[in-house]
Amino acid sequence: MIYLASESPRRRRLLKEAGWVFRIVKSRYSERPFAHSSPARWVCDHAAGKALSAAARLKSGLILAADTIVFDRGEVIGKPKGLKDAFRILGSLQGRWHCVYTGVALVWVREGRIRRKRVFSERTKVHIRAMTPQDMRRYFKRIDPLDKAGAYAIQQKRGSVVDGCIGSFSNAVGLPMERLERLLSR
């Protein structure tokens, strides 16, 4: 059985679209900033923390956990703290390229013990088109920027603010499906 240690609707949708059967398991892991950590290490450490926390509650199965951040000009950008923060974040990203990192942790549990663990990260470059404040207001009426790192939804088709993506699109949504499926098919 596969257990997803995430409540992200985007991750659930990606897995369902790929035909995976899974159950949600809650992780009690509490995210915290890691001083002097690279973005790839940051997301891997958080993903592993979530997976290990969930693994402690299961007898057997495969736990999948992930963490996604936006990284721009040396700064980790998470979810906005409010609408004003969302305007600030999207305003700073617009008209430029930035990176989206997702860390993925896979933990195999059997008989209540961790038998194997695999952690990796994926990076995608994303370009946000230039926008006016009015454009941003209209955009925020279509999506909820408060539950998205970087205050935007790359998967939004109509009225998207993204006009370029280099790398895994699904990674920028929240789970690098291509790499994950290759890994699990072995």
* Structure tokens given for 122: 């994926």
* Structure tokens given for 182: 């290759």
Residue 147 bears catalytic tag: no
Contact 165, 173 (CB under 8 A): no
Amino acid at 89: I
pLDDT at 80: 95
* 2-185 CATH fold: Maf protein (3.90.950)
User: Is 82 buried (19+), middle (13-18) or exposed (0-12) by CB count in 10 A?
Assistant: exposed
Contact 168, 178 (CB under 8 A): yes
Contact 154, 173 (CB under 8 A): yes
Residues of the chain with pLDDT under 50: none
DSSP 33: -
Q: Which one from 45, 67, 135, 163 is the annotated catalytic residue?
A: 67
* Structure tokens given for 35: 């001083």
HSE, CB side, 13 Å, CA atoms: give it for residue 81: 3
Q: Which residues contact 90 (CB under 8 A, 6 or more apart)?
A: 128, 131, 136, 139, 145, 150, 151, 152, 161
Instruction: Spell out the domain ranges in the chain.
Output: 2-185
pLDDT at 20: 94
CA 45 to CA 119: how far, in whole Å?
9
pLDDT at 32: 79
pLDDT at 1: 87
What pTM value is reported for the model?
0.92
